[in-house]
Each structure stands twice: as C-alpha cells, then as structure tokens.
Structure 1
C-alpha cells in the first residue's frame, strides 16, 4: 500500500467535521473494463472533480482510497500511476479544492494482502489520521461498501461508474446519483452523527437540507426587514418550539447577534386566557395577531407531528391570510398544515417519537446555517 500527499489545506465551513474518503475509478474518472493503464485512458468526470473541490471548500477533509492491481500485474508503472494522481490533484486544485492524499493498493487479488478493498488497512490508516472526524466512504462498487461495513463507518453509493449496477444488489443503501446530491447528505452528517438507518432516508434528507438552506437565507431577509420569528406547537412540539427560539435568541455553536424570536405556545397566561374566553382551537390567534400587527415581516414556524392539530392549522391560516409566510415541520408531507405552508420540512413517516427526533435534527441544521450567515468570519 502506498500514498501520495498534498500539503495544502482548505478553508473551514459547513463540512468541517467530515472525513470524505473516495474511491477513484468510476467516481473521479471513467473506468475501463481492464482498468486505466494509459495516459489517454484517464478521463476525469468533470462534475465529480468540481464536486470534490466544492466539498473541500466547504471544509471536508478529502482522501482517495483505490485498488490498482494493474501495478502488481505489470500493466501499469507506479510512476505513471502517480502521474494520474497528480493530474487529479491539479484538476481539483484548479477549482479551488484540495485532496489530502491518495492511498492505493498495488496488489493483485490473489496476493491476499490486507490493504486491497474490501480489506480495511487503507481505510484504517486514513481514519487514524483524523480520529475526531466523521468518516464517510463514497464509492461505486460492492467492495467499497463492504470495506466501509468492515470498518464500521458510513458509506454512500454514488450513481457513476458501476454505481447503478451495484445499487441493484443494495437497493436500500444510502445513495447519491452524483456529487450534487452527495453534498446535502454530507451536510446532514456534519453536525449530527446520523445513524446508518436514518441515512438510508436519503431522499428526505436531501430535500429537507436544500429547504433548510433556502429557509435560512429567507429568515435572514425577514429579520433584516424587522420581522420576528414566531413559533408554535403542542406538547413535545411546543418544547421543540421553545428550544428553537432559545437557540435563536441566545446562540447555537457560534457567537453572533441574538435573533428576534418568540415561542407563542409557551405563553401560558395568554394561551389559557384565550382558551377560556374563546376556545382552545383559536387560542393562538390573538397572540399571533399581536405580533403580526407590529412586525408584518415576521415568519411563522409551526411544529406538528401530525400536521392536523386544529389550533396550529387555524394559526397558519391566519398567518396566510395576513401575508405572513408559514414554515411547517411535520411528519408526512401530505397533511392539512402542509397545504398552508410556504416551506415544509417533513420526517417521512408518522410515528411521533421518530418525527420529533428528526424535527430536532433539522432545527439544528437550520440553526447551524443561520450561524454561518451571521458569523462575521464567514
């Protein structure tokens, strides 16, 4: 096993906890039936090169881990192999990114070495260099997935190279068609060590992370227009509403200015008075309207596992009527509350404990994005 080192380091940002380990053939360059052995056979995948550079600029620490048995077969010299790797390094660097090192196994399958994937020596050496980071192995073959499983790290199957064929044997494995789809999965892992079971819900994660990114900038715009983040929920969702507001008012991970936010559901005197004088179904309307009158650029967050709670729906309807944007954190995308919402974060199922866990996960993602927006050194 050998490695090629690059001494540069990337800027730190939203993927700074990620140790991104990539297979080479089929992931960074087109593969051939007998492997790449000649200079004119090394054809880089432009989208992948740009994607690696983007991940690097977002803070990911990037390595490549590749089997190169043609060296052992005498069909490829190590000198030419290093030239291939320098070409990939240079291409990524041209887009502003960094690959830290190439680890490669030159042995044939029959050599029975401990570094050829799916064996784990190369991965173990990379992991030992960054024990505090969250490792994610991205590859297109079953040997890549098996190596990650043996090492007990996250792996994501990518749709280039042999990826679509491999997916037929691993239909429920975390999957990204390309690097554009890979980045939000890495972002989901970055600040929360997501379980392998959760990561298989890659479709929901990708959609929700994209929504969260757009939502963070929308919140910043509303706040700049003197709006207030208003938040409501019942029961456990009320607790999450309080939690969310506390993160905005105080801080999440970085020092920044406090953001204007109020959890309307936790105002017990107002809620019980409105419930007594009017009805529980309308208990949020007057507290909500009091803020809409003085801060018309506000935004309403609705936390509801079912998306069917009448008092939450009534509040969302009032906000909609008054031109206040509505953001809903719900269990299933198909719900009455979703129909009133401008932004939807959905868990993908209806079991209350799992929905609430996922809602907290996405709230933290949103708070992290807001940290990046409001931190002066970004």
Structure 2
C-alpha cells in the first residue's frame, strides 16, 4: 500500500496565525486539491494528520472542526479526490498528550489503523514539528514552502534528508511521474 501523510493547515489550505476557525476561513492552496486527487488516481492512500489546538484553547468546538473538515472533503470530491482518514490532536500546546506533533502518537495511531509500518512513508508538512513526528516513526520528511515552510526551511534543526518542494502540487507531480 502506498500511503502519504499530509499536514492540513499550510499544506492543503492557507494557514493563519489566528487559526482556521470556521469553514469560511478554510481556503485551499492553489493546486493542492488536484494534487490529492492525482495521488488517489495513482493508488495512494492519503491521510491528514493535523494539530488543532484551537479546540483545546476554546477558539472553536468540535462541531466547527468537523464543519471545516467537511468543507475540505467536499471540495476534494469536486475535483475527484478523497482522503482515507483525518487524524487530529485537539489538545492545546501545553498539553502532555502524546498525539500533538512533534510527538509521534498521531502517526502511531495511523500505523495502527492502517496496519502498516511507516518506514519510508512520506510525511508532508510546512513546520518542523510535522517532520519531527514523522521521522520519529521512520517516515521520509517532505517540506513544502507554503504556509510556514519558508521560515521552516531556515531552521537549523531541519533534518538534512528533508526533501523540499514549493508546494504540494509540485511534490505530487514528482511522486507520480
């Protein structure tokens, strides 16, 4: 099984320092939805793994997070794409949970759900913590320069084997050629 794990905010949709707090604020990055549809067409299972601390901070509730994710799923369907699962950590940044990236708990849940070893599985993010969570379970790190990616590229802790792409569409074109 070909599996790829994507962060949501800054990879699939535009990010905001004030969080994405409503379906109206969720806006796809140009080409990202079509890129996911292309992955589907090439036989990839596509899973989202996203920190959503806005829930834990009380900025929005689970109903709103579900509505945002529903908009993403419906928008994907309009271009022939789909997600195989959406995993998220609702806890705030000061939580001691094991699911908040950079901790690998959310990715371990993905491995368990899909009954796969994540060694070599691409993990795509725009922040260092996305990549660190993936590396902890053997994933291959991919950084996109959308969202916080430009800033992350300059981080001295960026793993040396990170593959860097301008955006998800360019990365997917490379994976599926």
Same fold by TM-score, threshold 0.5 exceeded? yes
Rounded Cα–Cα distance in structure 2 between residues aligned with 1:123 and 1:183: 21
Question: What SS does structure 2 have at the residue aligned with 1:109?
Answer: coil
Aligned partners of 1:92 and 1:84: how far apart in 2? 12
Larger Rg: 1
The Cα of 1:181 is off from its aligned counterpart by 2.3
Structure 2: unaligned runs, 5 residues or longer: none
For 2:29, which of 27, 30, 45 is the aligned residue? 45
| Match of residue 148, structure 2, among 162, 165, 182 | 162
Distance 1:74 1:164 in 2: 29
1:182 matched residue in structure 2: 171
- Written as runs of structure 1 = structure 2, the 5 A alignment for 1:81-96 is 81-96=65-80
1:178 shift after superposition:
1.7
Determine which structure has the larger helix proportion and give its number: 1
Q: How does 1:1-378 map to 2 (within 5 A)?
A: 17-128=1-112, 129-131=114-116, 135-169=121-155, 170=158, 172=160, 173-187=162-176
* Residues 142 and 164 in structure 2, CA contact (< 8 A), matched pair in contact too: yes
* Cα distance between partner residues in 2 of 1:84 and 1:116: 19
CA distance in 2 between counterparts of 1:117 and 1:175 reads: 19
Q: How many angstroms does 1:112 deviate by?
A: 1.0
TM-score, normalising length: structure 2: 0.90
Question: Take 2:173 and 2:38, find their aligned partners in 1: how far apart are those partners?
Answer: 12
Q: Report the Cα offset of residue 183 of structure 1.
A: 2.1
Whether contact under 8 Å (1:62, 1:99) holds in the other structure is yes
Query: 1:184: how far off?
Result: 4.7
**Partner Cα distance (1:27, 1:180) in 2:** 10
The separation in 2 between residues aligned to 1:186 and 1:84, in whole angstroms, is: 28
* TM-aligned CA deviation for residue 82 of structure 1: 0.5
Task: Report Cα offsets for 1:182-230 as digits up to 9, x if no partner.
Answer: 125434xxxxxxxxxxxxxxxxxxxxxx6xxxxxxxxxxxxxxxxxxxx
Question: What root-mean-square deviation, in Å, do the aligned CA atoms of Structure 1 and Structure 2 show?
Answer: 1.8
Q: SS in structure 1 opposite 2:83? A: coil
Larger RCO, structure (CA 8 Å, separation 6 or more):
2
Contact kept? 2:34, 2:169, Cα under 8 Å: no
Contact 1:61 1:100 in 2 (8 A): yes
Aligned length: 172
